[in-house]
Structure 1
């Protein structure tokens, strides 16, 4: 029966296996077929992790805990082995690393007790051993200083998960030859030559010191390959030979191993690594990049390389140069200094990563210039991360490579899911999030190059979010703004978030930039984690900081609409001034004309209001309609930022033949006669983008589409969507209240869910196609909630009917399987001529839900005959006729004064055509009518005066070329500053032309 003895070691004890009796020399252990260590062996678990050395798979092994990531600190002790003073012994063993990528340390000692303290003599120091190559025999010669029974201890350590495997331990008297001496590798004098001279002296004695009478051989290897065997060398003989490195350039190690007359292997001698052949060049020095003004054209220079990476002189004929720009080789070979290239256009800005590589046939040395910002500096600037996208180039920066935080752009859904926050700072669905669970970790964003010389009072402002850690505990994260005027980034603002003292929400950070006038400056914003896991950055601005200022920010609208379809245009108005602002007005302009207004609520500094404008385009609006938003605020001190950027809405007009020759003629005082010809031509095939916005929420049908629940199984309705109790086929999802079903554009999409039980087999089949060859494209997205479902679908086409059995799968190189989540994947499929329908089949193996949005394709004619029924006439977008006109003419009397645009549409049995060509006429405005309405308009020196009888009156002032200069509401008397010229002032009673001196 096995006995287990505990040897007291203070707080720790070695576990001994069986009786401890002395072994004999030679001693050996191969651990073969063991389930436990033999008698006399012992182990010690120093780090008390419950894991230590044990026999496993014919080896002794020790490994850390993968799940707790605790490393190893464990001893394996041999039984007692008798050694004699004056004798020389050799310890042989084989060793390799266990699992994991780290390299543990192995220490070997011996002493008189099986304890760490008793291990008094060192055989192998506690250094990290190269254990990546398995089971190389290690041989270490040693001499005990006294006679006794010694225990050998194998001490494995490592701070990371990993382990050591030990095998074939032998201890015996050393009689083998000692190592050769003077092993020298002499390279050729010709650079790049792969010949070397190997020389050494054969050993004279054994490792025990006795003189050798003879040797069997000396084997010389080069990096493991035998290159020379010297048979029967004389002890102490000088040996030299030439070796040609047949494998070409590289680092090589030569090893000479002698063998005694009895064939026993002696001690190996090994050279230091020697590079032979053509090495990689050294890194180019003095690499510089300069820009020609702000042109975006860069000049890169460097010093010629004269040595290889080891410092050896390297002739120029072996060196080639390459230039890299933002990760690509713009000059893959033959580059010369100086090298001039264009990084960007003069009106653009780009972060330029430039490097030069000195290259040889073996490798290259690369020197980068660091980040360089090329192109036109920004003046005023606005970055709001709209829809979690970046509108200006930014540079994510790991400000501390040892402690890097994560940096991402989050949308509203991600803010809620990851951080529990309800929204970003300005309602544009995006902000930068710097996150980490570790104190002191940081990251930053470089936002670009600026020149603020043209700004009266330049300021950097941005928003950050403060949330208390818990009741009474402040967030202590830190935000740092750094500036670089050419000598590297220096901190210019340190913002301690603890200063908010528990006031939760978004706060504006402000920093003056006047000190940088006269210079270009690069700016970076860094967040450092102290006691909260996130730093949020949003709504970054460089502005002319006024006391009172409202700024028109972004404007958003649907990409496409149908005539008569109601939609909203949303605008963002920010108070970028120092003072709170009262109620103001936002004006929506369509192609430069005022079409709607909205109230802008009073705003505190740094806050943003979202205004909405209900809109509807008609059949006579243009295909492309440009909206802008103007902010009207009487006390505004900066009119230059009152007009938003434009957004274009595509009016999807029908393809019925339209009138193309409308003519308008005046036929008396304020009368117009219109004439035209009947339209000719055939119905055009029209490409459309279907975004399902006109569908009924969660309906199981849509227009001419065919939805089929072919499996007939109940839906896996994980989000409790309405209408899916027993139906699991395609449906129209509205993501407004179901974020996991958010659409790509708008609110709705085509959606599928898996069956609750059994297989899923659901089909969404298109309307009939045009029959022409076409490309179908759409976007697909998996389930948002978990982000790991493996979604897949099939895309099929039919040249006959629209039954599922009529379809065959369309060949594609695209991967139609993808991981679910927030990212929308774009797919395109080419359909040949004669295709009548396409289908999307959802039958995943592991999916949860699939959404499809924005399907672009060309539907076909319904087959119904196209009959012309008559015409409609429109003036300024308003239909004039109450009944359909049968003839190609129309007369209108008592036309109001002003400018007017007429259109005619053709009415068919299948619908109304788009508008005709425009026909324009103008009539003088009767001043009597304007005055009769109690309105007086006059031009003065430097201004226009509008006076009303007391009622509020809308007005618009147009320049001579038709542009809207301003608009508003007049009540009483107002004066509008204006430069000298002719203006048209429009009111509900008519328009008056005035001259300003």
Structure 2
């Protein structure tokens, strides 16, 4: 039994859904946004050569033999490598996403006589009603696209998936050799254009018999035989009555198979035709030709499939979830005809069932049902298609689709859907839509409405007739037995005199079919106030059940529109604040404010007051602000700010909490986590910091910064600071596009400047699949493959460098290696940024797909700029996190800041490279110092730790002073150090310091002795 082996064929079949299913985004293969044919079907190209022998008329070609295309000239006039081929015993051409079709299939030569009428006909159809196709037909003097100048059928748009026969007559003025051709001219981005049954014949004279009526009926059990009925004509072609007929000949493929002698005009006759044993099962061309003497009349033609044909479709497919058991049951009415509608023994027909995502449920089914266990946990809507098949193959053109059914774990309270950014975050489906249009949008021009919750998304239903209606279904939602006051709330937008009605319907049946929805609440939009109105629907009757809520839109006036937003199901407690949304930048520079925005909603029944908003960084509270009172059902927008210092980690985790003592459900009082990068400048640091404990203080010293000899620190460019999808430049980085060609996009992705000529683009990964992720953060630079066969040549040139020899590092990645490895070079310039100033120093094609790989390269002394050149790009070359030492800008040193244990202890920058930190008690402290410039604050110096111990002398007075710093003893007078056994371990003949291994010692200075711990 033939099955649907091709994923492309299944995808084609599924492009004609009657319903819409909303599902979470799934991983997708990333490919070029173009189409190409498999090698197996690259049978003919623009250079194909057909036999030169003229065709004998009448001529018919049914393409039942795949080699039939060899008798045609095929011309790929747009040179895209995609042109006509034979598929499934028909002519077919696949569209190109980038170019309009311009492809001809042209017959062998035909000798036509001047003044004689000829008929040309063919069948054509579209592959999907969602994609319009275009075709024309013409005659020419030579088998070339430019010579097909006599239009028989002007450009015609096809939207039907059933074949339509086009018949055209032509009388040449000059006898000679002609060529007949079909021109595929569909727009770019269409699907498949199909054609079949090319026929050419000379027409009969006006006095010849008119066309008889020819019909047929194949064998019920599909043996190689058929019965034909011929009704003899009763007039000539001009309409004059016939006195009689000599004969009617039934022809198969041009060969007589039965003759009716002396038929009576207007009478019906039947005859059989049986093929020889072993004949091929396929369509055969039959014709009935009436004769009046030797004069042949106008023939009647038909196609008859002899043998087992493709089956007709099943009917009334229906899907049911078996009471949340994890099983799905699909039923249908069996097919009892073939694909042409002729009765067929149902025992010849089997069935294959697919889900809308292409998953095979079962195959080779002889019953009218199948059951399968689904494994998905994330709830999604599905529908199912039932395809019928016979030994002839699978009917992938006509098949029923089931109702929508929600599979997966039911949602629990609280549930929310707000159509944020014009997208669905939960499972929704449209079960029916009669005459209207449902769309997720950020703005409804007809209503003057923007989203109720300011999240750039809402749902709008617009009527297309005077009686539009639709049913929008949410997924399954479990209302727990312990729910106190479950409710469904939503908002609708009212304009003046709106006639629309919105009904909330609930389905609690274990079988979530449409008939089980019960209307529980209806609003007339006109009864609301202008603008957004909140509706609350009690759900206490449904505690302990799993329901499927739905919205029924009824719009009696064409052109009216209604918007809904902010759909929620939750347990409405007396006191309940909820963090609805929060946002912040993903990068901030040290000493700059990092602002967090939060939207707090009171979903409780009572007013909320006396709450506090807190901001936590890496688990520590860094800011708190009090909130204002919020009435029930209202929201408050708040801001909270933190300024990270230069000592902040390179990346920190932030979140916000709402502290509200009466809150009965604090589980929704915490925002999502924000991973924030803290950037610092590469300005010269202070170095060689030391900390020495002394009498009552710790003394700090460091080397002063000398701007005459200083260089910047290593800087890592992560491209997070630049405008997303910019293609002209990125800060001080220079882009050079030497190829100047348009670029390829990526299938399934839309982004600004896509396909424009460019060198590099600042690619922002927000909202895209994880395969597009950056090495760090959200952005990187990308070079795209050039179109039109042009080799890419794209340059990224660095800002000015320090001029010293240095090692740079960077991360690179390919989007895919399916088209070949990406290649790049590193080049250096000792002068300017013209591409002619650069010399290569490094090159490789070892660029992995998806994963990021670190590369290093040594730049010679005197290098002022480096360039990274992407050349011969195959799809997408990506680069991120470039580390290098930039040139020192013009700076003015303002002084130094001192930090102790992470906190700044100097109010103003110090002008000298030293500081004394008074100590009041024993302890250990960590210090670092930063340099402060007119252009910012440097990164901190290396940290040092000092242990301060205020020692009481053992003797008559408090002098001399003895202090310990780690394993070093400092003393203000000459001193000796003994261990506890009395052995002399070290001597200092003058005031100073001595270091010993860790341990407990006795320090003697004159008449004074002290016990110290070195550690």
> What TM-score does the superposition give when structure 2 sets the normalisation length?
0.50
Quote the residue 1:566 is aligned against.
593
Quote the residue 2:531 is aligned against.
505
Give 1:461 deviation, angstroms.
1.0
Alignment of 1:596-995 (within 5 A): 596-633=623-660, 635-652=662-679, 686=716, 688-692=718-722, 704-705=732-733, 767=799, 772=809, 774-775=811-812, 799-801=827-829, 803=833, 805-806=835-836, 836-837=866-867, 856-862=880-886, 873-875=899-901, 878=904, 893-894=920-921, 911-912=938-939
Is residue 796–residue 838 contact of structure 1 (8 Å, CA) maintained in 2?
yes
SS class of match (2:475): strand
484-493 or 278-287, which deviates more: 278-287
Give 1:419 deviation, angstroms.
4.9
Q: Does 1:463 align with 2:496?
A: no
Q: Does 1:491 align with 2:524?
A: no
Q: Gaps spanning 5+ residues in structure 1: where?
A: 1-57, 60-95, 105-128, 138-169, 469-473, 677-681, 711-729, 733-745, 751-761, 779-794, 809-826, 841-853, 922-997
SS class of match (1:498): helix
Decide which of 450, 453, 456 is 1:429's aligned counterpart: 456
Higher RCO, Cα 8 Å, sep 6+: 2
What is the root-mean-square deviation of aligned Cα atoms in Å? 6.5
SS class of match (2:541): helix
Q: Deviations over 1:955-991 (max 9, x none)?
A: xxxxxxxxxxxxxxxxxxxxxxxxxxxxxxxxxxxxx
Q: Does 1:351 align with 2:381?
A: yes
Q: Using a 3 Å threshold, how does the CA distance of structure 1 residues 452 and 647 change in structure 2: closer, same or farther?
A: farther
603-612 or 637-646, which deviates more: 637-646
CA distance in structure 1 between the aligned counterparts of 2:319 and 2:945, rounded to whole angstroms: 60
CA distance in structure 1 between the aligned counterparts of 2:277 and 2:447, rounded to whole angstroms: 61
Give 1:403 deviation, angstroms.
0.5
Q: Does 1:196 align with 2:218?
A: no
Alignment of 1:299-378 (within 5 A): 299=328, 309=338, 312-315=344-347, 319=350, 322-330=352-360, 340=372, 342-345=374-377, 348-360=378-390, 361-364=392-395, 366=399, 368-378=401-411
Is residue 704–residue 767 contact of structure 1 (8 Å, CA) maintained in 2?
yes
Decide which of 463, 475, 480 is 2:498's aligned counterpart: 475
Q: Using a 3 Å threshold, how does the CA distance of structure 1 residues 133 and 508 change in structure 2: closer, same or farther?
A: same
Q: Deviations over 1:438-464 (max 9, x none)?
A: 544355543321111142111111222
Is residue 627–residue 646 contact of structure 1 (8 Å, CA) maintained in 2?
yes
Quote the residue 2:109 is aligned against.
none
Give 1:499 deviation, angstroms.
1.0
Is residue 572–residue 608 contact of structure 1 (8 Å, CA) maintained in 2?
yes
CA distance in structure 1 between the aligned counterparts of 2:578 and 2:232, rounded to whole angstroms: 89
Equivalences, count: 640
Q: Deviations over 1:570-607 (max 9, x none)?
A: 00011223344456433333344333233433334332
Q: Deviations over 1:820-878 (max 9, x none)?
A: xxxxxxx99999987934699xxxxxxxxxxxxx995525322679xxx9996443555
Quote the residue 1:67 is aligned against.
none
Q: Using a 3 Å threshold, how does the CA distance of structure 1 residues 289 and 892 change in structure 2: closer, same or farther?
A: farther
> What TM-score does the superposition give when structure 1 sets the normalisation length?
0.51
SS class of match (1:644): coil
Q: Deviations over 1:776-808 (max 9, x none)?
A: 899xxxxxxxxxxxxxxxx99983456355599
Q: Using a 3 Å threshold, how does the CA distance of structure 1 residues 185 and 649 change in structure 2: closer, same or farther?
A: same
Q: Using a 3 Å threshold, how does the CA distance of structure 1 residues 807 and 638 change in structure 2: closer, same or farther?
A: farther
SS class of match (1:482): strand
Is residue 562–residue 651 contact of structure 1 (8 Å, CA) maintained in 2?
yes
Q: Deviations over 1:337-362 (max 9, x none)?
A: 866555423xx322233445444443
Q: Deviations over 1:747-766 (max 9, x none)?
A: x999xxxxxxxxxxx99965
Q: Deviations over 1:905-960 (max 9, x none)?
A: 88799931599899999xxxxxxxxxxxxxxxxxxxxxxxxxxxxxxxxxxxxxxx
Give 1:521 deviation, angstroms.
0.9
Is residue 655–residue 914 contact of structure 1 (8 Å, CA) maintained in 2?
no
Give 1:427 deviation, angstroms.
3.0
Is residue 202–residue 233 contact of structure 1 (8 Å, CA) maintained in 2?
no
Q: Using a 3 Å threshold, how does the CA distance of structure 1 residues 836 and 293 change in structure 2: closer, same or farther?
A: farther
CA distance in structure 2 between the aligned counterparts of 1:210 and 1:367, rounded to whole angstroms: 48
Give 1:522 deviation, angstroms.
1.3
Give 1:539 deviation, angstroms.
2.0
Is residue 875–residue 902 contact of structure 1 (8 Å, CA) maintained in 2?
yes
Give 1:535 deviation, angstroms.
2.0
SS class of match (1:551): strand
Quote the residue 2:287 is aligned against.
255
CA distance in structure 2 between the aligned counterparts of 1:606 and 1:884, rounded to whole angstroms: 57
SS class of match (1:388): helix
CA distance in structure 2 between the aligned counterparts of 1:349 and 1:918, rounded to whole angstroms: 56
574-583 or 443-452, which deviates more: 574-583
SS class of match (1:573): strand
Q: Using a 3 Å threshold, how does the CA distance of structure 1 residues 354 and 885 change in structure 2: closer, same or farther?
A: farther
Quote the residue 2:773 is aligned against.
none
Quote the residue 1:522 is aligned against.
548
